[in-house]
Amino acid sequence: MPAADVSLLRGLLLQFALRILLAVFIGTGLLLQPPSANRWLHWGILAAYIASLTVWAWWAQRSADHSDQRTQRAVSLLMLCADLTVVAVISVETGLSSPETWTSDVLQHGLFLIPLIAAAQLDPAVSTMVAIPTVFTFFVVNWIDREANGNEPWGSILLRTAIVFGLAAGSVALSWIQQAKTRTIVGLAQERTRLLEEVISLEKRERQSLSERLHDGALQYVLVARHDMEDVRDGSVEGMDRVDFALAESSRLLRDVVRELHPEVLARAGLKAAIASLADSIGARTGMRVQLDADGWPDDLRTDADYLLYSAAREFSTNAIKHAQADNLRFRLAHNGSRAELRIADDGVGIPPDRLAQSVEDGHIGFASICTKVLATGGEFAVTGSPGTVISIAVPARTAGRQSVA
């Protein structure tokens, strides 16, 4: 069940419980402290309230979660008006018609429940609209009962009214806090769903990309070698050379794919050694000046974020080689106990936001894939710099263990 629906259901259950308590309180008050006049009128008002409570409960069970916000607010206000009316009318009427009894003095305390019922709406506007008449009604009832209570001092009346006012104000604040929490939970749930859908979509596209690489690369050389095997059977030396070349290229391409899927150095020696190996390889292949600052990462440290960070380093360094026209590339790796940080900077032409968005639309999913995976872990991803590009990644990283490095 969605978080918003759960909050709505709990709020409705709380309202129903408080209204049952209010009805029981009024009925008990009328039984234990009966007024001297108009008893049937008071019981009739209570019966009408119980009937309206039954109708509201039926509506809440069948239609509350399917109604729009305007309808829900209108029904909530209507029912809160019924809550306030039943207490106010009985308290005021008994105070006027039966001042010698304690009925009004007892029943007026039912007004303390009204702000609590309003707070359960999780709607600050509704709580505010109910708080003001509740405080006013409490003051009026005490004013009516003042003479019957031996001219109760105004200070006492104002003090008790202030308590009701504080309760009403607290109900408004509580509604606002709970509404904000509900919105935050709903937003987080929606963001989680979106990230999950993006991860699934990106994984599908990555698998398709891997399939295309194998088909267009290694598999083509294998097919060529199979075709040339006919010449090899006829004793052709050239055919044998072509088969040897095709198999060598196929092996190289397959090793590249396997290395990208699960780099051996990462599994054997850890992230620091893997990125150092990556930096050395880039420098040897391209002639770029590549630096690694990993003083903040212990040699033997392993974390559950190692593969993600290595994939990011490989992806963004490849982008710098292909597109950035950079002369210098710098990696910075650090671990502060609970978070791992990777920073990749080059002095190339930079990445304008519109070009980054266009590259994702064109099917170049490396950036989007890494970014989505980082955000899905609760991490942070940022691309800055112009000219040049600085990519900063910070992710939660639980220590997976430390292994001795031979």
- Residues 8-21 have pLDDT tens digits of 677 778 888 888 99
Backbone angles phi, psi at 393, to 5 degrees: -130, 135
Per-residue CA distances from 301 to 178, 217, 260, 341, 394 (Å): 42, 36, 21, 14, 17
Instruction: Say if CB 305 and CB 374 are below 8 A apart.
Output: no
Amino acid at 126: V
**What distance lies between CA 80 and its chain's CA centroid?**
32
Share of the chain above pLDDT 90, in %: 10
CA distance 147 to 336: 71
* Residue 269's pLDDT band (cuts 50, 70, 90): confident
The answer on 146 and 251 residing in a single domain is no
Segment 163-186 shows an average pLDDT of 85
Enclosing H/E stretch for 399: strand 399-402
- Residue 201 in any domain: the answer is no
CA distance 354 to 306: 30
* Residue 261's pLDDT band (cuts 50, 70, 90): low
The answer on 38 and 166 residing in a single domain is yes
* Residue 363's pLDDT band (cuts 50, 70, 90): very low
- Residue 202 in any domain: the answer is no
- Examine the fold and report which residue of 174, 190, 206 is the final residue of a domain before the chain moves on: 190
Domain that holds residue 239: 217-258
Number of domains in the chain: 3
263: nearest Cα among 250, 276, 251, 247: 276
Sign of the Cα pseudo-torsion (275, 280, 283, 289, in order): positive
The answer on 159 and 55 residing in a single domain is yes
The answer on 288 and 343 residing in a single domain is yes
CA distance 145 to 91: 9
- Examine the fold and report which residue of 149, 175, 190 is the final residue of a domain before the chain moves on: 190
CA distance 229 to 223: 10
Instruction: Say if CB 383 and CB 210 are below 8 A apart.
Output: no
The answer on 245 and 317 residing in a single domain is no
CA distance 113 to 116: 5
* Residue 405's pLDDT band (cuts 50, 70, 90): very low
- Residue 381 in any domain: the answer is yes
The answer on 271 and 242 residing in a single domain is no
The answer on 279 and 242 residing in a single domain is no
The answer on 303 and 370 residing in a single domain is yes
Determine the pLDDT at residue 406.
39
- Residue 211 in any domain: the answer is no
Residues 233-243, buried b or exposed e (16+ Cβ, 10 A)?
eeeeeebeebb
| pLDDT top residue among 116 and 334 | 334
- Residue 272 in any domain: the answer is yes
The answer on 176 and 233 residing in a single domain is no
The answer on 282 and 243 residing in a single domain is no
Amino acid at 360: V
The answer on 162 and 64 residing in a single domain is yes
CA distance 5 to 42: 37
Residue 401: pLDDT over 60 = no
| pLDDT top residue among 354 and 321 | 321
- Residue 205 in any domain: the answer is no
The answer on 273 and 394 residing in a single domain is yes
Enclosing H/E stretch for 340: strand 339-346
244: nearest Cα among 262, 259, 222: 222
Share of the chain above pLDDT 70, in %: 88
- Residue 60 in any domain: the answer is yes
Residue 111 is given by DSSP the state G
- Residue 206 in any domain: the answer is no
Name 332's bridge partners. Answer: 293, 343
Q: Is 150 left (phi over 0), alpha (psi -120 to 50) or beta?
A: left
Q: Exposed, middle or buried: residue 4 (CB in 10 Å: 0-12, 13-18, 19+)?
A: middle
